[in-house]
Structure 1
Amino acid sequence: MRFAAPAAALAMVLAITASVGSGAERVSDPRAAALVAEGRAALAAGQPEKAVDAFEAALTVDPGDTGIVLELAEAARRNGLQGKAIRYYRSALARDPANLAALSGEGAALVEKGAVDKAKRNLARLQSMCGDGCAETRSLAAAIAKGPQARVLTAEAVLPDATVTQQN
């Protein structure tokens, strides 16, 4: 019984210390920041494959940085890999469910893939979180208004009907 008060005080100090430590601003690794800058430059140069490589390397260096995951998702979208981009956006949303950029990006990727109804759900969430005036809401609304991308027809999809005739 005489240890109850000191134990409670110690538990309180540990709880406060833990909450202060987790609320601190996150500092990005400088190596990851250099790789992110390299990836952004590659995206600006129209080289999404190089950008993906740089962002994946940055994510390896600093796996806790949600911003890198968002950059990787954007590079995947520009590379035409909307499904992969959606997976990255959902990973960012699992880390931070209130991430407006991830919600908007996922919605835009969904529109590009043709899932406009799902994108409208993201738009509704964005409108409830930040209203119609924030940039993410306007961006997703514009993507929905533009509609899905036109499908690219491949040569395999247009193979001629093969008919076999027997020659005598």
Structure 2
Amino acid sequence: MKKDTRKTSASLNLDIKKIKENARKHVEDGAKTSSYKGNVDEVIALLNASLATEIVCALRYKRHYFTATGIHSNSIASEFNLHAQEELSHADLIAERIVQLGGEPDFSPETLTRRSHADYVPCQALKEMIKENLVAERIAIDTYHALISYIGDSDPTTRVMLEKILAQEEEHADELSDWLKVA
């Protein structure tokens, strides 16, 4: 006979009465409950910098999509466009999380490039476009690694979101690295 390994609320030390009280008391806080362990203001600020980075990367990819020329430009340009769309989907996820945490996503064009971790480098030659996009992806990878490490277990929802974005940024970097060899 198998032993039941499911934990009961008693073995988890859940105080359901207290959880219900807190849920009603701070109902305006939405998804951010009393169990949230992160520094919400810092996390929102960090996420807003990541939001700016994703938007700048999307804009750079879009410019490269429209201006790429050369023998391999059609296939690579279409990938630039796909990467731009993926960067915008990252921005959407980040903006949504900022709102869930009670913050406001900063889409201000006036300060976008100052807040971004990556640079907006327009480039003319296809090989330079690939290099600059690869540099930006490598910056994003290192930044997301640092954010994930900083957040740790204090905000599992944000950490998981960032891990998914990181995985896609690593895919982008791998593709760009391969394209450098053929451009």
Rg larger for: 1
Establish whether TM, by shorter chain, passes 0.5. Answer: no
TM-score (norm 2): 0.25
- Bigger relative contact order (CA 8 A; separation at least 6): 2
TM-score (norm 1): 0.27
